[in-house]
Amino acid sequence: MTGLLLAALDQTIVSTALKNIVEDFNGLNHYTWVVTAYLLTSTASTPLYGKISDLYGRRIVFQFAIVTFLIGSFLAGASTSMTQLILFRGLQGLGAGGLMALTFVIIGDIVPPRERGRYQGYFGAVWGLSSVAGPLLGGFFSDHAQILGVTGWRWIFYINLPFGIASLIITSAVLHIPRIRREHSIDYVGAILMVTGVTSLLFAVSVFGPEDGWRDGHTLLTAGLGIALSIIFLFWESKAKEPILP
């Protein structure tokens, strides 16, 4: 649950702090990338984590996602330029993709089917809490120029650290999933098609469309490329031995 809270909270806490971040870094031209970079990497990586965890085990891959997210959070909080912040937000997104995907996979592994409805309610509560608490916390940190000697908005990233460390401790202590040895392989062609297709569509919808117009050549080209790659991906997956999306 704490892993899911990390990923869910980070999707909402940044929005109210963007004004302060832009002012500090003079990065008005690139502020949308603070959100888009996170969205791109988390969306593209989410489907891959399930297959990777089949190969290497749920707990170790989940903990890898937590550590990746924490490193991204710390570096994002320590950023000294807009470029650094965007890159580290992308790293955060790579970790968040695993947190969101593997939380549900692990619950499916350890919770009996008759109990899963109750856990779906817990998940809904976590998302609801994050949607309310995220903007409030982001606004609180942004309203304070300094907190414990650190610029206020940087705490929207540093606040992830105690929750992430708690998640690592909890998963190490109580998450024991028997590893069933099976022969698995990663569909690399399918993974490349999926990532490039999703990335192209997100570029069209999140970047080129709002900035250049929905009839602009860049928007139409990236949207068309994304749709074409998605169709090829679906066709490829229907023939793949071990598809990324069964």
Question: What percentage of the chain reaches a pLDDT higher than 70?
Answer: 96
Of residues 177 and 221, which shows the higher confidence score? 221
Q: Is the pLDDT of residue 175 over 70?
A: yes
d(CA 70, CA 64): 10
List the structure tokens of 222: 């990236």
Confidence (pTM): 0.83
CA atoms within 13 A of residue 119's CA, in its CB half-sphere = 16
Q: What is the pLDDT of residues 55-109, one digit of tens each?
A: 888 889 999 999 999 999 999 999 988 889 999 999 999 999 998 888 888 887 7
Lowest mean pLDDT among 2-6, 37-41, 155-159, 207-211: 2-6
Q: Confidence class of residue 182 from pLDDT cuts 50, 70 and 90?
A: low
DSSP E strands, the chain? 146-147, 150-151
Lowest mean pLDDT among 48-52, 180-184, 205-209: 180-184
Given CA atoms 4, 33, 203, 51 in this order, what sign does their dihedral have? Answer: negative
> Per this entry, what is the length of the chain?
246
Question: 8 phi and psi, to 5 degrees?
Answer: -70, -45
